[in-house]
Amino acid sequence: MDWKPVALSASPLAQSWYEASARARLAGLLDTDTFEEFIGPEQRMMSPHLPLFALPRAFDDGMIVGRGRLDGRDVLAAAQEGRFMGGAFGEIHGAKLVGLLRAALAVKPAAVLILFDTGGVRLQEANAGETAIAEIMRAITQVRAAGIPVIGLIGGRAGCYGGGGLIAGTCVRLVISEGGRLSVSGPEVIETNKGAEEFDSRDRALVWRTMGGKHRRLLGAADAFADDTIGAFRAAASAAIPAAPAFDLETLEAEQARLAARIARFGDARDATEIWSRLGVNDPDAVPGLTTEGFDALLDSLPEGSHDAR
Amino acid sequence: METLRFRHATTRPLPGTRPSAITGVVASGNLEVLLERNLPPDACHVEIDTAINGYAEVWAAVVADFVARRQPGGLTITINDGGARPDTVSLRLAQGARLMELP
Amino acid sequence: MPDKMPLDTLLASLFPAGHAVTVADGLITGEGPLNDGRLAVIGIDGDTALGIEGACLLAGRVLDVVRAGGSTPILVLVDSDSQRMSRRDELLGLNEYLAHLAKALLLADAQGHPTIGLLYGHSAAGAFIATALATRVLAALPGAHPSVMDLPSVARVTKLPLEILQDMARTTSVFAPGLDNMVQTGAVQATLDPDRPLGPQIAALIADSPAADTRDALGRERGGRPLAHAIAARVVREAQGA
């Protein structure tokens, strides 16, 4: 499958989400000039650990957090820079998101938006990153329990892997694009540990089919499929804020039923196309080539619609 | 890792009033540049943290060229470098100066 | 390193009067008496990798406890591998299953069922996050050896010689595998005494467990995460500023 980012354009909303930096995504996602960063780069809160590995640091440690407005509503937002250390969670990177979620309990925004772009835990700070991921997941459930939706946006070049995939699964709504990949073990990790016959990471079509945005949306692992533009993510994020389900026993029992039914129904499928076929897709081989319009029309034609079970 | 520091005198301040700007990303072959307007109008300080050792002379030349062309008086410029080529460095410095001049 | 305590020894120390905890396919489920009430038990035994079926089954047991009401605490016993690394698990959405298990534990705790993790063997990566790290209090027994990634794999990814990493691991807790390092980051709050009955030690953990997430504060006190707590607090302050 060919996945082509749209060309860089003068209008921020028409820019490719995949190609844009984390700062450019935030600037275009939120209402113009409303983003205010917490612990901005001039504070130079950089990793104390990377110099031990002779690695360069970033002023924001690859995590940008702050507040802004989305269609006039106050929101808190966090964005990972996937080009710096693969967007991986280190001590400061993770702690900034932990702090943002704790702040949400105090300032009660209309939503918290997380712009994922991560390979998972930063190995040079593995224990701090892993623990931060656990703190983030706990904080997300507390924010959701307070009635504030936590919405994940996935479409960056690093995808959303490892602990990032678990954090995404804790969000109430997920927006994903064709270029977004959502998974725990990445293709290279599976291949390294289990061999190329288990997963050939160079087979890009297999990667997109198994972990990519269209499959995740068809499976119900994501709630909205967006074009690869900042404008499309903005519209989808705004639409996701109202009517997010509560974090309670009813929601998790519905998720339990949804996930158990998935194993019963697709547990023996060998490929995503087999799952799509069982979902009622007439021509599964055509799915990777569908435009967003065509894909949305396909979604509308299928018996399974959206769900509130996350 | 290597840290380099350069201090230049300028003939004029960089136009504009923005207190700070940032451009670029720390990645292989790339760098980030943080510009802050916090010095006297005839001074420009540049500090570079680079992943690649042994290129102090190249950095000195690239920075001197930028200072001569733009006269970025008043600025402290701090760079985190992931191993960028000199042309990329010049581009980012120019982008940064332009951001600081925006109204 | 001390030997890992076998599960049957652990259960006998925890429940001297007997219990109804069983293991099937490496998944631990059941319950036993604790003080005047019950202690629900789930977990992973035998260095088993956690896949979609396992996570779904364990989450179902946790939700059963929540549905039944009351305040039965939940003990999560962990001696696991990492998440199961397979094309099939990822095809079917392993991230959702692992997150669902973590959410079930976090919901249980929030609804009055204190959750306690007890790490008695190995654990790593996604399996660690979905089980032990999703509890309110995580304790460990000597012989436990959590790791995000083993040093040879870290050497491969970082392209640093293994000998250098082994040297660094002796002085830098933030990346090195092992129980002591996870204690220093604040992820593991307490180490239990294997020579004393475990029941009262677990009961004491439940009684003393903090309502808030104090792991980053512990990491600062113990030196394993010098900055995380201050950074999070600073974000909260800036967010509350005008």
For chain C, list the domains and their CATH numbers. 7-148+176-211 (3.90.226.10)
Q: Chains with 3 or more CB pairs closer than 8 angstroms to B?
A: A
Residues in chain B within 8 Å Cβ distance of A66: none
- Residue C196, judged by CB atoms within 10 A of its CB (0-12, 13-18, 19+), counts as exposed
pLDDT at A186 > cutoff 50: yes
Closest Cβ opposite residue B34 in set A42, A55, A84: A42
- For C185-206, how does the pLDDT look when each residue is reduced to its tens digit (9 = 90+)? 999 999 999 999 999 999 999 9
Mutate to test the interface with B, among A23, A42, A47 (most CBs of B within 10 A): A42
Q: What is the pTM of this model?
A: 0.96
- What would the pLDDT profile of A70-103 be if each residue is shown by its tens digit? 999 999 999 999 999 999 999 999 999 999 999 9
Q: What is the pLDDT of residues A138-183, one digit of tens each?
A: 999 999 999 999 999 999 999 999 999 999 999 999 999 999 999 9
Q: First and final CA of chain C: distance in angstroms?
A: 53
Q: Hey, which residues does A293 pair with through a beta bridge?
A: none
**Optimal mutation site among A53, A127, A143, A262, interface C, most CBs of chain C within 10 A:** A127
What are the pLDDT digits (tens) for C4-15?
999 999 999 999
The C-alpha of C44 sits at a distance from chain A's nearest C-alpha, in angstroms, of 18
Cross-chain CB nearest to A54 (options B1, B32, B81)? B1
Nearest CA-CA partner of C64 in C96, C128, C7, C107: C107
Residue in B closest to A85 by C-alpha = B27
Determine contact: A286 vs chain C, CB below 8 A.
Answer: no
Do the chains contact at A123 and C126, CB–CB below 8 Å? no
Q: What is d(CA C38, CA A219) in angstroms, rounded to the nearest whole number?
A: 38
Angle at CA of residue A162, ends C177 and A165, nearest 5°? 145
What long-range pairs does A21-25 form, CB within 8 A, spacing at least 24?
A21/A81, A21/A83, A21/B25, A22/A62, A22/A64, A22/A79, A22/A80, A22/A81, A22/A82, A22/A115, A22/A117, A22/A156, A23/A64, A23/A79, A23/A81, A23/B22, A24/A230, A25/A79, A25/A115, A25/A230, A25/A233
The mean per-residue pLDDT over the stretch C213-227 comes to: 96
CB distance C198 to C39 below 8 Å? no
Total structural domains in chain B?
Answer: 1
Question: Which residues of chain C are within 8 Å of residue A128 when distances are taken between CB atoms?
Answer: 174, 185, 219, 224-225, 228
CB pairs under 8 A between A and C: 265
Contacts of residue C226, defined as CB under 8 A and 6 or more positions apart, other chains included, come to A48, A91, C219, C220
Hey, are the CB atoms on A42 and B32 less than 8 Å from each other?
no
What percentage of chain A has pLDDT greater than the value 70? 97
Kindly determine whether residue C87 and residue A193, on different chains, have CB atoms separated by under 8 Å.
no
Is the sign of the CA dihedral A194, A200, A206, A207 positive or negative? positive
The CA distance from A261 to the nearest CA of chain B, in Å, is: 43
Yes or no, beta carbons of B34 and A41 under 8 Å apart: yes
CA atoms within 13 A on the CB side of A189: 20
Give me the helix-helix angle, A163-170 and A126-145, nearest 10°.
10
Q: Which two tokens stand for residue C158?
A: 């970082």
What's chain A's average pLDDT? 94
Chains A and B touch (3+ CB pairs under 8 A): yes
In chain C, residues 213-242 whose CB comes closer than 8 Å to chain A? 213, 215-216, 219, 224-229, 231-236, 238-240
CATH (domain of B31)? 3.30.230
Domain with B79 in it = 2-101
Any A CB within 8 A of C168 CB: yes
Chains A–B, number of C-beta pairs less than 8 Å apart: 44
pLDDT in tens, B6-45: 999 999 999 999 999 999 999 999 999 999 999 999 999 9
Query: What are A209-225's pLDDT values in tens digits?
Result: 999 999 999 999 999 99
Query: Assign residue C183 a region: left if phi > 0, alpha if psi is -120 to 50, beta otherwise?
Result: alpha
CB nearest to A42's CB, from B20, B25, B32: B20
CB within 8 Å of chain B, chain A residues 37-56: 40-42, 44, 51, 54-56
Q: Which domains does chain A have, with CATH numbers?
A: 12-246 (3.90.226.10)
For residue C97, which residues of chain A lie inside 8 Å, CB to CB? 259
Which chain A residues have a beta carbon less than 8 Å from that of B38? none
| Confidence label for A9 from pLDDT (cuts 50, 70 and 90) | low
Measured between beta carbons, the chain A residues lying within 8 angstroms of C67 are 249, 253
User: What is the predicted pLDDT for the residue at C172?
Assistant: 86
The predicted-structure confidence for A163-174, as pLDDT tens digits, reads as follows: 999 999 999 999
Chain B CB within 8 Å of residue A35 CB: no
